[in-house]
Structure 1
Amino acid sequence: MDLKQLECFVRVVEFGSVTRAAVTLNLSQPVVSRHVRQLEVELKEHLLERNGRGVIPTDAGKRLLERGRGILHQVRLAQQEIEELRGSPSGKVVVGMPPSVGKSITVDLVSDFRAAFPRASLGVVEALTVSMYEWLLLGRLDFALLYNPPVSQQAVYEHVWSEDLYLIGRRGLGGKAMPESVKMRDLAHYPLITPGQPNAIRNLLDVQCARLGVPLSVALEVDAIESLLDLVDRGMGYAVLSRNAIYGRSQRPHLRAARIVSPALTSQLVIATAAQRPLTRLAQATIDLIKKRIEGGILGGKPGSHAPTRPDS
């Protein structure tokens, strides 16, 4: 079995499209199709089925996909370990993080990474927790920083930070100044602009308010944080986010943050890794760089314990 054929097959299934896989692999579409077809001939099984939305794996394809991801990852580990014998870690590591965290940490992380590992490359992906969790399990991310991730046997979580959530609003909206703090029961009086479900902060907000019997007034559901904040800045409503969401935003000088109290609404940030996929030395070293920055207070919250756990332990 040729590794290039296997990689083409895995990427086609992950993206659900030969065209998108070809772009990722920097190959032409006919070449990718030919590699997959050669693999089918060799295994004497159809591996893919086409439907109106792209391609999906057959039963045989699902079996191969499960094994193929592990094979490709082990090959990549072996390559990096051999390269590392020649000096500092090399290869590539891809980390996912929420936009609010990325805004605070990405520039410093890149600087630290380039100084420590001049022979390696770093990829930073910013997205919401629900998307990054899926990408982590698919192997597109080496590890990810996630807010309040779902309970799972497929991931290991290391709690690294806690941060209180705030009500974000425009100064002087409706003739009223933003208060220093807002009781959770009073959130019912504010028209909220929030991401739709599934979303880590939205889920935390819904669960805690339901537990306390606080009815929320959701005026708009907007998933893109930048667009959400633009609407808040225009006085269309209020957001519930971490203070980092508006920290250092000179382009939105009118936004203010009121801490949610009685009780506080606290979001947990964890470093998530795939349970069945060992980290490379480079990935572990990158995690150490991030933890050092977080412990230095770059996020402005509260440090957590650093014991790796499964969420149901």
Structure 2
Amino acid sequence: MELRQLKYFVGVAEAGSFTKAAAQLNVAQSALSLHVRQMEEGFGTQLLVRERTGVKLTSAGAKLLHHSRIILDQVSLAEQELTSKVKSPSGEVTIGIPSGAARVIGTELLTWAKERLPRVSLKIVEGMSGPIEEWMAAGRFNLAILYKTAESVGDTLVLAREEFCLVVPPNEPPYEDTIRLADLHAYPLAVPMRVNNVRRSVADVVAHHGCALNVRFEMDSLSTIISMVMDGKAYSILTPSAIQREVSLGQVRIVRIVDPVIIRSVVLAVNPKDERSFEVAAVRSLVPEVVKHLAESRKWPTIISEVEQVSGGAVAFKSA
């Protein structure tokens, strides 16, 4: 059986005539007659009794009509559900976001998701970059924003690139706008633990250039690190996005690290098992839009200013 044959059979049975059914279905009467005859041959039994005034169902035909209506109704429901799922995705999506990025994108992403994807329940899990990366690898999230070095972005979607800076307590040296990498050793630092991606990114560059850091405090708490800098107890190395609120209030200052500049990529990763999920795909498409908006409105201070094409054919927004 084909669904088309069932549809034609139901049309003829309900119309009570091949002529009427042909007009209603916009199909040639001869084609309808051929399909019904093929069904009768396939089942080995007569389904309709042809009379001068129309057609009547046999007992076998009545049973087939009952089943055909159920089958066609189920197909219609499936089509409606799948079409609706594509046009208006629904379900729960969990995204892991490192604390620094969450301070910038968290509220905006939730607001956009509520407006654009009202049937999607978006849940944000915030944490330090190390645990977020581990939890994503363990499959705990549908999506995750991760920090990567330029050499390790792979097939992920690059959302932005950020530059690390020395975070300085108010009214403390250095008073210049930049500081050389080799001069960082003069400042006591509060930094994330060694497993943290931020710490690894900086440490790799420092080691490569034969420099040293004066690490006094290690903790996996962005708020504590920022508080220590605000209180004048330590300096830190972070990206501007992580402390832009405190900078705008004059609670800390940022000094660019140069010779060389330390840059990281902010990427969006998807759990492989969710590649075909409509709701995950919808949020996955929304995140770059939000990042682009934040960058253009200067709410996310990044260093790239054009659209970037990355491997796998994905398009990533670069923002100034």
| TM-score, reference length from structure 1 | 0.66
Counterpart in the other structure of 1:11: none
Matched-pair contact (CA < 8 Å) for 1:233–1:252: no
Aligned residues: 228
**Residue correspondence of structure 1 range 137-156 to structure 2 within 5 A:** 137-148=137-148, 156=155
1:179 pairs with 2:166: no
Q: Which aligned pairs between 1:1-313 and structure 2 lie closer than 5 A? A: 82=82, 84-85=84-85, 88-148=88-148, 156-173=155-172, 176=173, 178-249=175-246, 253-275=250-272, 277-296=274-293, 297=295, 298-303=299-304, 305-308=308-311
**How far has the Cα of 1:113 moved from its partner?**
0.7
Aligned AA (2:114): R
Deviations 1:150-192 (A, max 9, x none): 9999x8522221011110011223xx35321111111111111
Distance (Å, rounded) in 2 between the aligned partners of 1:132 and 1:106: 15
CA deviations 1:7-44 (Å, max 9, x no partner) are xxxxxxxxxxxxxxxxxxxxxxxxxxxxxxxxxxxxxx
Distance of 1:164 and 1:250 partners within structure 2: 15
> Does structure 1 retain, via aligned residues, the 8 Å contact 2:161–2:266?
yes
Q: Which amino acid aligns with 2:188?
A: P
SS at match of 2:140: coil
Bigger radius of gyration among the two: 2
**1:279 deviation in Å?**
4.2
Tell me the amino acid that sits aligned with residue 169 of structure 2.
R
What's the % identity of the aligned pairs?
25
**Alpha-carbon RMSD:** 2.8
Check whether the contact 1:149–1:200 (CA below 8 A) recurs between aligned residues: no
Distance 1:213 1:119, change over 3 A: same
SS of equivalent to 1:302? coil
Assess if the C-alpha contact under 8 Å between 2:189 and 2:216 holds in 1: yes
Write the distance in 2 (CA, Å) between the matches of 1:166 and 1:279. 39
- Structure 2 partner of 1:59: none
Unaligned runs of 5+ in 1: 1-77
Query: Structure 2: which amino acid aligns with 1:112?
Result: W
Q: Secondary structure at the match of 2:130?
A: helix
Kept in 1: contact 2:247–2:254 (CA 8 A): no
CA contact (8 A) 2:94 2:122 kept: yes
TM-score normalised by length of structure 2: 0.64
Shift of residue 82, structure 1, vs aligned partner: 4.5
| Post-superposition offset of 1:306 | 4.2
Separation of aligned partners in 2, 1:90 and 1:165:
38
Aligned to 1:139, the other structure's residue is in SS state: coil
CA distance in 2, matches of 1:152, 1:243: 22
CA contact (8 A) 1:95 1:124 kept: yes
Q: C-alpha separation between the residues in 2 aligned to 1:288 and 1:217?
A: 41
Alpha-carbon separation, structure 1, partners of 2:150 and 2:178:
29
